[in-house]
Structure 1
Amino acid sequence: MSTKEGFPTGMDTEVEMLSLDGKEWQSRRCSVKHICRTRDAFTGLAIIRLPEDMSERPQDLKDLCAAFDMPPCTWLHQYQKATGFFLAQEGEQAGERTTYSTAFRFLLKHVNRNQSKSSSVNLTVGYSWTEIGIWTQWKPSHSSIMLCTIDNNDQASVWKDICRTLQDPQAIGVSRPSDWHAFVLPYITAAFDRSVWACRHVVRHMEHHRPTAQSPRPDYPIMHELARHSVHISENLAMSIKVCDSIEQEISDRQQSTPLSGPATQSARTQALRTIRSHKTLLECAHGRSDALTARLQNEMNLAFHIGGERDSAIAAQMAQSMKQDSAAMKAISVLGLVFLPGTFVSVSNLWTLNGHIQHSLTNGRPYIA
């Protein structure tokens, strides 16, 4: 894939465009106004990456929706904050289908750990979101374009993987409406797989450094924070599977409603369905692993509670033993008191008697000699 100079953009919104020029993919930067103005004249394949703040540019959005048949509703807050969605529509002119466009979205959460491998102390867990919006437009025997919005941080590495794949000009063949879905799903599946395994590594680290009775130092806030991330990942995976179901159903419906032009088209649709189904099973596998991570985290928290309870019980037993020893000492003191107290009482009584005799003798004027 080579890079060409883009068209002058001035203050216009810039986009990154990858287009198939003959047998080689070309990368360039151009303005939204340019791609909208030249849409009808464009033929071939292209992938356009829109800026992530596109929803804040109403005029550019209006031009994009008109030029690429993008459903305007997909830019509403409800759609932009959704965990995922899928919709499709067809354009008709004089009773004939002129365009076929789809829109779908995926949301990924990536967990990262900042901590040395030798200890579980001072473990901090960070996270980042990756929002992926896809719009496709297909024109019969004319052109096929995929537009996408991917966060600049792109922790999921989706855009990098796409650009790496396009180093091979033969790596992509998009000539039918369903081909874009079969093309992009492997990158989404790989991104979700990395997301789940990143969470798994942190959970496994906690299992390796779980608290013991000798060193009960569970970090409950980190455990609950990681459990929250795991729940979000499971939620995103569940929605991505439903998006795949919707894409699969849409392709099946088109097979029944749209006349086929020949065996090649039928074979291509069947292959696209097979690709989507295979990657849906991978997403289901990742979803099961994510649910298992949530259960493992719950197990670690329960174990930490039990270890803490055992330690508290041991401390209570030690306190009871100490109190028992104190009680024995008090009994010994009581016995000593019982033994020596009578003699002390007799001695004190004699002392008081002696004192009385002395006072009596002094009162009578006679000395008293004991």
Structure 2
Amino acid sequence: MLTCAGNSNWQQHWARPDEFHGSSNTWAYFEVKQLDVQMRYRWYKMNIFIRWLAPTKQTIILAFDTRSPITERIPGSLQDPGSNSLGDPFWVYARLAADLVDLQDSAVWAIRNKVRAIETERKPIGKPQPDYRHLHDVARHAIHVSESLNVATETMEGILVQHNNFLSQNFPFQKTNTDTSEDIHRQLLFCKDMLSSLRHRHFPLRSL
């Protein structure tokens, strides 16, 4: 059992080869904070439970507490996985991680635009009169975005570890295409690296 605490969580359980006949249950939970131009914000959740049945290569997916645009993106992202991908239970996470990267990228740029607007404001003549409430709100939102990025990156690292564990197992009914699983692993790694890059880019904004 692997658990990562924070705004995002990853929890994984692998059954023994003689338990569930080579099936697995996984759960992942991510949150992304989006800020609009009027400083209104919304939290978007990606709360996914997956049961994978190795003998039949079936994937059962439950999504909880979804809202637009997550509601519309999940079905589109999971269409046409291909028969080879269905032999690897992590194909779902490879698809959804790409959506997560898009949402986090948008969240980082929204904060960046707010900071840039503050930097380019005309300096008043005489004693400055900064809007401390506005500055505090921008900093607060930046911290939340930073926290969700930190935990999302750690979550993806945990998923990669568990994918390696999956590839090392010898399930009695395992039907995994090695090339396909390696491609899935590369997709997961790419998304993890993108989140890590966004985290490093966002760090100076949090320090303001």
TM-score, structure 2 normalization: 0.84
| Contact persistence 1:131–1:151 (CA under 8 A) | yes
| Contact persistence 1:193–1:286 (CA under 8 A) | yes
Over 3 Å counting, the alpha-carbon distance change for 1:192 and 1:248 in structure 2 is same
Extract unaligned runs of 5+ from structure 2. none
Q: 1:253 aligns with which of 140, 145, 165?
A: 165
Distance of 2:12 and 2:198 partners within structure 1: 27
What is the percent sequence identity of the aligned residues?
A: 21
Deviation at 1:94, TM superposition (A): 5.4
Over 3 Å counting, the alpha-carbon distance change for 1:83 and 1:95 in structure 2 is closer
Is 1:230 paired with 2:142? yes
For 1:160-184, what per-residue CA distance to the aligned partner results, in whole angstroms no more than 9, with x for missing partners?
2334446xx54x3340211111111
| Contact persistence 2:21–2:173 (CA under 8 A) | no
Helix, strand or coil: the match of 1:105? strand
- For residue 58 of structure 1, what is the aligned residue in structure 2? none
- For residue 356 of structure 1, what is the aligned residue in structure 2? none
Over 3 Å counting, the alpha-carbon distance change for 1:257 and 1:92 in structure 2 is closer
| Contact persistence 2:54–2:173 (CA under 8 A) | no
**After TM superposition, what 4+ stretches of structure 1 lie above 4 angstroms from structure 2?**
91-96, 259-264
Distance of 2:21 and 2:195 partners within structure 1: 33
- For residue 32 of structure 2, what is the aligned residue in structure 1? 108
- For residue 194 of structure 1, what is the aligned residue in structure 2? 106
For 1:43-78, what per-residue CA distance to the aligned partner results, in whole angstroms no more than 9, with x for missing partners?
xxxxxxxxxxxxxxxxxxxxxxxxxxxx9xx9xxxx
- For residue 131 of structure 1, what is the aligned residue in structure 2? 45
Distance of 1:264 and 1:216 partners within structure 2: 64
| Contact persistence 1:158–1:191 (CA under 8 A) | no
- For residue 59 of structure 2, what is the aligned residue in structure 1? 144
Larger RCO, structures 1/2 (Cα 8 Å, 6+ apart): 2
Computed over aligned residues only, the root mean square deviation of the Cα atoms, in angstroms, reads: 2.8
TM-score, structure 1 normalization: 0.49
- Please list, as runs of the form range in 1=range in 2, the aligned pairs for 1:277-356 lying within 5 A after superposition: 277-295=189-207, 298=208
Q: 2:13 aligns with which of 79, 83, 89?
A: 89
Over 3 Å counting, the alpha-carbon distance change for 1:213 and 1:137 in structure 2 is same
Distance of 2:51 and 2:21 partners within structure 1: 12
Is 1:240 paired with 2:152? yes
- The number of aligned residues is 202
Deviation at 1:150, TM superposition (A): 3.7
| Contact persistence 1:260–1:266 (CA under 8 A) | no
| Contact persistence 1:84–1:106 (CA under 8 A) | yes
Higher relative helix content = 1
For 1:96-120, what per-residue CA distance to the aligned partner results, in whole angstroms no more than 9, with x for missing partners?
6342110011111111222xxxxxx
Deviation at 1:92, TM superposition (A): 5.9
- For residue 218 of structure 1, what is the aligned residue in structure 2? 130
Distance of 2:91 and 2:196 partners within structure 1: 22
Deviation at 1:85, TM superposition (A): 1.6
Is 1:266 paired with 2:178? yes
Over 3 Å counting, the alpha-carbon distance change for 1:95 and 1:279 in structure 2 is closer
Deviation at 1:129, TM superposition (A): 1.3
Extract unaligned runs of 5+ from structure 1. 1-70, 115-124, 299-370
Bigger Rg, which one: 1
